[in-house]
C-alpha cells in the first residue's frame, strides 16, 4: 500500500490542484495543499461544483460531505488514496489524464 500511495498521491494532488486552480484562476504554486478550501474562498456551492469536476476527472463518485470531512487538498488526496486506490491506479495506468 505504501508504494501505491507514493505513486498515486502526487498524481492525484497534481490533478486536484489543476482543477482547483481553474476555479481560483491562479497559479498552482500559490496554493498550499494543506490550506483549508473554505479559507481560500470556497463555499458550499463552489465546493460542490469543484467536487463534480474532481469526480469527472478522476472517475470516482464522491459525496459532497467528503469536502467537509477533508477540508484541504492534502486531506482529500489521502482520502482518495485510502478509499479509491485501486480505481485511481487503473485510472492513471489507463492514461485517462
Q: What is the mean pLDDT of residues 15-36?
A: 80
Write down how long the chain is. Answer: 97
pLDDT at 14: 94
- Residue 62, pLDDT above cutoff 90: yes
Burial class (CB in 10 A: 0-12, 13-18, 19+), 14: middle
How many Å is the maximal CA-CA distance in the chain?
A: 35
Rg (C-alpha) for the chain, rounded Å, is: 13
Cα(90)–Cα(8) distance, rounded to whole angstroms? 10
Q: How far is CA 50 from CA 7, 19, 27, 85, in A?
A: 23, 7, 17, 20
pTM value? 0.85
Residue 57 is placed in which grid cell? 476527472
- Residue 82, pLDDT above cutoff 90: yes
- Residue 6, pLDDT above cutoff 90: no
Amino acid at each position: 500500500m505504501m508504494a501505491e500511495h507514493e505513486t498515486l498521491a502526487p498524481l492525484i494532488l497534481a490533478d486536484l490542484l489543476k482543477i482547483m486552480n481553474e476555479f481560483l484562476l491562479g497559479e498552482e504554486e500559490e496554493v498550499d495543499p494543506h490550506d483549508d478550501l473554505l479559507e481560500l474562498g470556497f463555499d458550499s456551492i463552489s465546493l460542490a461544483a469543484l467536487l463534480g469536476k474532481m469526480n469527472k476527472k478522476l472517475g470516482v463518485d464522491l459525496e459532497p460531505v467528503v469536502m467537509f470531512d477533508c477540508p484541504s487538498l492534502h486531506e482529500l488526496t489521502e482520502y482518495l488514496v485510502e478509499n479509491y486506490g485501486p480505481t485511481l491506479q487503473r485510472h492513471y495506468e489507463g492514461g485517462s489524464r
